[in-house]
Structure 1
Amino acid sequence: MVGGPPPVRDAFTHLVGQLREEALSLRHQPLFEVARVRQPALAHHPSFASVMAALADVREETYPQREALTRAMLAECQASSSPAWAAALVSAYAPMLNRLRRRILGNAVPREDLDQLVLATFLSVARGFPLSRWGDWTAARLRQQTAREVFRYLRKERAEQHETYTQAQLAEWLPDARPATPVESPRRPSVRRSFVKRDAVLVHLARATLPRSDVEVLMATVVRREKLRAYVSRLVEGDTAEAERTYQRLKRQRTRLMQRLRTQAGDAASQPSGGC
């Protein structure tokens, strides 16, 4: 077969390769020179390429050096906003990440999203790694924490895909929900598709007919699924009484807005389509 999407492993390898190119870019050399002064483990290495070559040497006698280099890179990754350290960590641990990626089976997450899931989880673990608490076996802990978080996310996705919704929930969220027969059991995948369709309709109508502040409330709490209280806490900081008043006001406002948009969506759906 000619053409078509690349195999999973090839796509992931290509993505990691792009990050390696980023890490080895000469524009990051000044950043590395500054880090060499701060991190004794980096002092004997002239570049990112030298560090990655040392980390690729997996002989038993090189473990102390690899441990020190990994911890130095983690410290810099946590302290710097530059993408170079994240890219270098991914490149250095590419074999481990490739093995983890190949272990993932099933369709809980779209295949094209799994590469990003593995990389994003690894970098999240790296940025939050407690260097002061864990002083050894850093590479093993990175691997274990990353795998644990990836599979925890996948288990949650699988569980949600088998979650059922009551008729009351369907009626609340879907403008065109109809009572199901007793033998029907609405499953999340079909409801999720309806949610996507519903979101598209609501966003279109909201942007066309509502003030910007109302649209922001709906985008946060309906489309992005953010809890209303969490949204309010970002708007009102420190004043508990004011936060509660704002919450109650937005709660009533959102209810009215949703009802208005559902009515508009129903009216639009009932109108005959034009055209030839």
Structure 2
Amino acid sequence: MIRLAANLSMMFTEHDFLDRFSAAAKAGFRGVEYLFPYDFPASELRARLDDQGLTQVLFNLPPGDWEAGERGLAGLPGREQAFRDGLERALEYAQALDCPRVHAMAGLLPDNADPATRDAYLKTYIDNLSYAAERCGQDGRTLLIEPINGRDMPGYLLQHQVLAREVIRRVGSPHLRLQFDLYHCQIMQGDLMRTLEQQFAQVGHVQIAGVPERHEPDQGELNIGALLEHLDAQGYDGWVGCEYRPRAGTVAGLGWARPYGIIAGHAEETP
């Protein structure tokens, strides 16, 4: 059975962030995810979840200096302590929010990185993930990695599914799994159904969006109904994060989600 989670960083932006929890619940979502929780006290986020009967399904570790262009620390040589400090902060939030999984962003390679530099970044990445996966396991959490397409995020260290599978193999921890985003995978390689089958045992979370514009998943190249049916047929019992930017109002674009229990049209668009 497909369970949809609203990504509150991208959806329901008609509302202030803390009001998006109630908007998502009113639309029929039972789970939520977002990029980062750290601008708000964990107690306030916990209260919003509890008030609306929502499950927190995912958020990211601190990404470094986002305003300065950093997109994760896990693969950056020399930033190991900052990565570990961010991991501990994320685990504190995960415990408070009862969130079972956290995503570690890999970070960006330098412009025109040569093979030796790439190898150094990849070694740092694997070393940091090995530490973080063990630490997450101690806390009863799962660590996720996600290939992100190079069009939206040029220079991102982890762009391809085959490298993600190799990284997971090399780390060798049951606490490290794959965040499989259909949007990113379609842009980088396509062949979504077979790619899903190849690595299904490693998948810990799924995200969706339309290609190429990252709007509603029924807009563009993807046959989202067939893909979700295939995911369900594989026996997937996790959440599917709706990480897309609505073309207009969030609720107005939720018609595609009615078969999965979302009551489009029954929530207000205005704050």
Superposition TM-score, scaled by structure 1 size: 0.22
Higher strand share: 2
Question: Which protein has the bigger helix share?
Answer: 1
Q: Which has the larger radius of gyration?
A: 1
User: TM-score, normalization: structure 2?
Assistant: 0.23
